[in-house]
Amino acid sequence: MQADTYIPRRLDDQWKIGFWDVDVAAPIVLAFFIGYLSASKAAFALCMAAGIAVSRWIARLKSDKHPAFALHWLYWHLPVNPATAMRATPPSHIRRMVG
C-alpha cells in the first residue's frame, strides 16, 4: 500500500489572476470595468492605458520587496476601521515602538 502523496511546497503564495498577483492585476481589472461602463471606445482605451500604467507602477514598486508588500503598505497608510483592526499589533498611527 504505497501511495504517492503530494506535498505542497508553497502554501502561502499570493493569490493569482492568470500569471499575475492580485495586487498587480486589480488595477487593470478595475480599469477594464470602468472603461466598459463608459460606453465609448476612447474612454475605454484611456481607462485601460491608465490601468496598465498603474499596474506597472505597482509591479515596479514591489519588485524587490516582500511578497505581501502591498498589504503591509495598505495597513500602514489606510485609516483603521473595525474590519481591518488587528488585536495583536498596535494601531498603524503609532510609529514608535519600544522594545
For the stretch 2-46, pLDDT in tens is: 677 777 677 777 777 888 888 889 999 999 999 999 989 999 999
Q: List pLDDT tens digits, range 73-84.
A: 877 787 777 766
**Domain ranges, ordered by start, for the chain:** 17-65
Cα 99–chain centre separation: 31
Write the CB contacts of 40 (distance below 8 Å, at least 6 apart in sequence): none
pTM across the whole model? 0.64
- Predicted confidence at residue 79, as pLDDT, reads 74
56 pLDDT band, cuts 50/70/90, is: very high
* Residue 22 C-beta-side C-alpha neighbours within 13 Å: 8
- Residue where the block lists cell 522594545: 99
Residue in 27, 30, 26, 5 with CA at minimum distance from that of residue 14? 26
- Structure confidence at residue 50 (pLDDT): 96
